[in-house]
C-alpha cells in the first residue's frame, strides 16, 4: 500500500531540513521534552485536585513536584529555543556558502545569464528567509506535538473536559487557517518587492553618476519610492494577518473555557476537575497557537524556497568540472620567444548560439612577446580572453600554459600566472596599498616599490594628498581613470605573472597616455608576455605583432596597420 501523501509544500522543506538534521532534531526534541515536563506537573496538580484529603507531607511533595516539573519545563524549553535559533543561524550561513560557492564555481555563461540584483537578493534576503522558514516549519511540528502531549495529560484528569477541549482545538486550528488566508500572497509580494528594491539599490549605488546626469532622475526616484511603498504594503499585510489570526484564536479560547466548565459541571456536578483541565488548556493554547502560526508561515513561505532553489540551480547547472588534464610535456623550453600560452585548435560556441564564436583558433604567445589582438565588436575577442582566464572551457581544443592544460591548474595558480586586466576595473581594499595586493590577500612582493615607480604611481602621489595609506572605497570612485588603470596593471604585476592580458583596459585613455603605460610595462617587466586586446588602430601601431579575429577565425600577420 502507498504511504500517506505528503503535501508538496512539506516535501519542499526536506532538502533544507537534511542540511541541519541533527540540530533541528535536537531542538524539536527539547521542545517536546519541555511539554512532557509541564504535562507531568499539571497531571500531579490534577491528581491532587481529585484527592479529598492529603497529609501535610503529601501537600508539600505535591507542591514540590509541580514546581520542579514546571521549572524543568522552562529550562528545557529555553534550551530547545536556543538550539533552534542556533540552527537557523547555521542554516543561513550554510545556504549562503552554497550559493556563493555555486556562483564562484559556475560556468561563466550561467552566471552572466542571471540578473545581478536577483543573485544579490538570493544571498542577502532569500537565504535568511529560507533558514527562518525551515526552522519555523520544524518548530510548528514540535509545537503541535507539545500541544498533543498536554492534551493527553488532560484526558487523565477529566475525559469530558479534555474531549471538549480537543473539539475546540480542532475548531481553533481550522479557524486559524481561515484567518491566515492571504499570507501566501503577502509573502509573494514581499519577495517580489525585495528583489525590486535590491535592483534599484544596486543602480543607486553603482550607477549614481549616470542617474544624476540622466533626464529621468525624478521618474526614477518615483519608481524607487513605488518599490518602497510596495514592500511596505506587503509587510503591513504580512504583519496584520497573524495578528488577526491570533485574535480569532483568543476569542475561541474564551469560548473553550466556557464550554469546558459547562460540560464538566453538567456531567459531574463538580467543576474542580474542569478547572484543572482549564489550567492545562491555558498552558497548551499558546502552543497550539504557535503551532498554527508557524505552520501557516511555513506553508506560505514556500515561495522563498522555490526562488532560492531556482537561483542555485541556474548558476550551478553547468558548473566547471574538476579537470584531470595531464601536462602536454612539450612546453618545457624557456627563454625569449619560447612557447608560453598556446591555443590549439580551439573552438567555442555559447549555448544560446547556433554558430561558433571561435572556430579552430591556433595561437601561440611566446615569452617576452607582445601580441595585439584586434577585431570588430562581436568577433570573439572577449570570448578568447575569458578562455585564457579560465572563465570558459573550449568546446573543442586545448589551451596550454607552458605545456600544461589550463584545466589542470588550480584557479589561484592560473590567475597568478595569466592575469587579465579588464576594461571595468574594481579596486578592492581599505587603502591603496591593500588595493595593489587584492585587499591585502596577497603578500607584498619585494618589487612593490619598483613596480609602482616604473608605472608612474609613486610620481602621481608626489604633488597630491593621496598616499598609499589613503582610504579607498571598494569602487575607487575618487581615483581618476588613468590612475585606476595604472593601479590595476601594477596590481596584476605584483603576482609576477607569465602573461598579462589587457582587455580594452587602456581603450578609454588618450593614445599618448596608453603608449606611455605600455612603455612603463616594458621597462618594469621586460620578460613579460603581453596580449593587448583592442579595437583601436592607434594601439596596434604601438604594440608590434598583430592578429585579427574575423567571425571567430584568426588571421595572422596583418602588420601594425591591421
Does residue 30 surpass a pLDDT of 90?
yes
Is 366 in the same domain as 514?
Answer: yes
- Which of 185-189, 211-215, 530-534 has maximum average pLDDT? 530-534
Is 377 in the same domain as 253?
Answer: no
Average pLDDT (186-201) is 81
Is 301 in the same domain as 444?
Answer: no
CA dist 272 → 42, 46, 323, 367, 499 (Å): 14, 9, 76, 96, 89
Is 366 in the same domain as 218?
Answer: no
Has residue 103 been placed in a domain? Answer: yes
Q: What's the pLDDT at 270?
A: 66
pLDDT tier for residue 327 given thresholds of 50, 70 and 90: very low
Q: What's the pLDDT at 320?
A: 67
Average pLDDT (51-74) is 81
Nearest C-alpha neighbor of 172 from the set 281, 33, 278: 281
Over the chain, what is the mean pLDDT?
81
Has residue 326 been placed in a domain? Answer: no
Average pLDDT (120-131) is 86
Residue range 225-269, pLDDT digits in tens: 988 998 898 888 888 877 887 788 778 777 877 777 777 677 766
Q: What's the pLDDT at 562?
A: 40
Does residue 29 surpass a pLDDT of 90?
yes
Average pLDDT (527-542) is 82
Percent of the residues in the chain that have a pLDDT greater than 90, as a whole number: 16
What cell was used for 491?
596590481
Has residue 334 been placed in a domain? Answer: no
Is 441 in the same domain as 490?
Answer: yes
- Helix spans in 269-323 (H): 272-300, 302-316
Structural domain boundaries, residue 438: 339-556
Does residue 342 surpass a pLDDT of 90?
yes
Has residue 168 been placed in a domain? Answer: yes
Non-local CB neighbours of 252 within 8 Å, separated by 6+ positions = 168, 171, 172, 175
- As a whole number of angstroms, the distance between CA 211 and CA 225 comes to 15
Query: For residues 491 and 435, is the Cβ–Cβ distance under 8 A?
Result: yes
Average pLDDT (355-359) is 88
- Which of 202-206, 215-219, 330-334, 395-399 has maximum average pLDDT? 395-399
Is 348 in the same domain as 298?
Answer: no
CA dist 22 → 6, 18, 26, 103, 348 (Å): 22, 8, 6, 28, 46
pLDDT tier for residue 325 given thresholds of 50, 70 and 90: very low
Residue range 221-230, pLDDT digits in tens: 888 898 899 8
To the nearest 10°, report the CA torsion of 39, 41, 46, 47: 120
pLDDT tier for residue 559 given thresholds of 50, 70 and 90: very low
Out of 266, 284, 316, a domain closes at: 316
Q: What angle is formed at CA 19 by the lines to CA 17 and CA 23, rounded to 5 degrees?
A: 75
End-to-end CA distance of the chain: 75
Amino acid at each position: 500500500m502507498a504511504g500517506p501523501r505528503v503535501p508538496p509544500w512539506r516535501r519542499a522543506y526536506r532538502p533544507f531540513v537534511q542540511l541541519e538534521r541533527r540540530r533541528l532534531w535536537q531542538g524539536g526534541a527539547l521542545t517536546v521534552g519541555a511539554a512532557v515536563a509541564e504535562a507531568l506537573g499539571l497531571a500531579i496538580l490534577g491528581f491532587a485536585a481529585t484527592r479529598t484529603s492529603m497529609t501535610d507531607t503529601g501537600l508539600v511533595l505535591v507542591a514540590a513536584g509541580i514546581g520542579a516539573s514546571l521549572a524543568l519545563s522552562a529550562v528545557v524549553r529555553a534550551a530547545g529555543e536556543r538550539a533552534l535559533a542556533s540552527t537557523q543561524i547555521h542554516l543561513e550561513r550554510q545556504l549562503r556558502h552554497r550559493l556563493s560557492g555555486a556562483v564562484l564555481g559556475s560556468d561563466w555563461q550561467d552566471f552572466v545569464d542571471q540578473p545581478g540584483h536577483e543573485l544579490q537578493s538570493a544571498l542577502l534576503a532569500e537565504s535568511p528567509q529560507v533558514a527562518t522558514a525551515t526552522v519555523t516549519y520544524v518548530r510548528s511540528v514540535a509545537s503541535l506535538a507539545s500541544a498533543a502531549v498536554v492534551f493527553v495529560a488532560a484526558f487523565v484528569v477529566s475525559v469530558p473536559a479534555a474531549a471538549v477541549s480537543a473539539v475546540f482545538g480542532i475548531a481553533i486550528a481550522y479557524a486559524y487557517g481561515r484567518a491566515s488566508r492571504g499570507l501566501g500572497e503577502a509573502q509573494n509580494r514581499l519577495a517580489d518587492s525585495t528583489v525590486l528594491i535590491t535592483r534599484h539599490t544596486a543602480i543607486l549605488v553603482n550607477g549614481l553618476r549616470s542617474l544624476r546626469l540622466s533626464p529621468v532622475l525624478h521618474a526614477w526616484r518615483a519608481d524607487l519610492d513605488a518599490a518602497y511603498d510596495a514592500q511596505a504594503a506587503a509587510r503591513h499585510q504580512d504583519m496584520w494577518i497573524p495578528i488577526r489570526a491570533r485574535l480569532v484564536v483568543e476569542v475561541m479560547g474564551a469560548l473553550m473555557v466556557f464550554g469546558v466548565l459547562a460540560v464538566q459541571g453538567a456531567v459531574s456536578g463538580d467543576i474542580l476537575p474542569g478547572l484543572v483541565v482549564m489550567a492545562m488548556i491555558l498552558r497548551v493554547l499558546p502552543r497550539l497557537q504557535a503551532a498554527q502560526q508557524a505552520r501557516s508561515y511555513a506553508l506560505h513561505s514556500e515561495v522563498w524556497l522555490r526562488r532560492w532553489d531556482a537561483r542555485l540551480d541556474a548558476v550551478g547547472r553547468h558548473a566547471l568540472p574538476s579537470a584531470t588534464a595531464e601536462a602536454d610535456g612539450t612546453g618545457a623550453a624557456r627563454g625569449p620567444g619560447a612557447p608560453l600560452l598556446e591555443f590549439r585548435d580551439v573552438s567555442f560556441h555559447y549555448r544560446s548560439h547556433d554558430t561558433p564564436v571561435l572556430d579552430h583558433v591556433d595561437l601561440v604567445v611566446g615569452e617576452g612577446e607582445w601580441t595585439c589582438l584586434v577585431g570588430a565588436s562581436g568577433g570573439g575577442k572577449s570570448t578568447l580572453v575569458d578562455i585564457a582566464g579560465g572563465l570558459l572551457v573550449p568546446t573543442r581544443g586545448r589551451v596550454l600554459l607552458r605545456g600544461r592544460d589550463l584545466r589542470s591548474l588550480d584557479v589561484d595558480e592560473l590567475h597568478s600566472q595569466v592575469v587579465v586586466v579588464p576594461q571595468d576595473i574594481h579596486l578592492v581594499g581599505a587603502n591603496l596599498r591593500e588595493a595593489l595586493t587584492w585587499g591585502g590577500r596577497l603578500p607584498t612582493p619585494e618589487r612593490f616599490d619598483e613596480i609602482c615607480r616604473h608605472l608612474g604611481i609613486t610620481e602621481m602621489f608626489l604633488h597630491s594628498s593621496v598616499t598609499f595609506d589613503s582610504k579607498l572605497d571598494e569602487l575607487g570612485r575618487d581615483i581618476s581613470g588613468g590612475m585606476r588603470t595604472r593601479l590595476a596593471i601594477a596590481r596584476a604585476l605584483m603576482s609576477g605573472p607569465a602573461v598579462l592580458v589587457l582587455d580594452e583596459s587602456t581603450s578609454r585613455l588618450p593614445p599618448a597616455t596608453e603608449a606611455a603605460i605600455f612603455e612603463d610595462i616594458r621597462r618594469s617587466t621586460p620578460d613579460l608576455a603581453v596580449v593587448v586586446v583592442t579595437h583601436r588602430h592607434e594601439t596596434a601601431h604601438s604594440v608590434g605583432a598583430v592578429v585579427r579575429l574575423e567571425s571567430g577565425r584568426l588571421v595572422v600577420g596583418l602588420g601594425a596597420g591591421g
